[in-house]
């Protein structure tokens, strides 16, 4: 019998999120394709639909923790935690201070998730992270997550 570990839950969460985001991006692409009333199925029509539809960017960003799942070392752990930092920074930057209660609640939940996954020894041993270098790895992941958030903000405005 297989024991369900915290790593299995974390991996299945990211895989389900990736599948859902790919489905939404594909549906949005099809909607954009029909909105432009393009009758031919060629490369130019596909490229023009992709320039109208920006939902595929979410799937590209969620591909980062999927890669981190398959890399079973510190780099994989950096990819997974940087995506969680990316979600947190992106959520705060998008919502500013419109709903302070939702902002505080979601920030507390994401920080609790980070605290739980950084203290679970089964996850840390799976990715070969020791307690000595956990702070350095989390700092690198924070910088990578902030860079990805900044990149998404720049892509949204241009």
**pTM summary value:** 0.74
CB 133 within 8 A of CB 74: yes
Residue 97 pLDDT exceeds 80: no
d(CA 75, CA 64): 11
> Of 97 and 86, which is predicted with more confidence?
86
pLDDT for res 69: 86
The whole-number pLDDT of residue 40 equals: 65
Cβ contacts of 22 within 8 Å, gap of 6 or more: 59
Q: Determine the length of the chain.
A: 158
Burial class (CB in 10 A: 0-12, 13-18, 19+), 86: buried
Minimum mean pLDDT range among 33-37, 79-83, 102-106, 127-131: 33-37
Radius of gyration of the chain (CA): 18
Between CA 121 and CA 81 the distance in angstroms is 15
């Amino acid at each position: 019998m297989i024991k369900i570990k915290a790593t299995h839950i974390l991996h299945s969460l990211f895989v389900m999120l990736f599948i859902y985001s790919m489905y939404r991006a594909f549906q949005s692409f099809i909607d954009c394709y029909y909105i432009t009333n393009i009758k031919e199925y060629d490369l130019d029509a596909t490229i023009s639909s992709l320039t109208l539809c920006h939902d595929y960017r979410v799937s590209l960003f969620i591909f980062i923790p999927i890669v981190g799942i398959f890399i079973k070392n510190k780099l994989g752990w950096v990819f997974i935690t940087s995506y969680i930092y990316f979600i947190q920074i992106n959520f705060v930057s998008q919502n500013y201070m419109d709903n302070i209660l939702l902002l505080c609640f979601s920030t507390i939940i994401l920080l609790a998730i980070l605290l739980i996954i950084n203290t679970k020894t089964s996850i840390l041993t799976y990715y070969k992270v020791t307690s000595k270098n956990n702070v350095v790895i989390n700092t690198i992941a924070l910088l990578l997550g902030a860079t990805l958030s900044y990149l998404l903000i720049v892509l949204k405005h241009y």
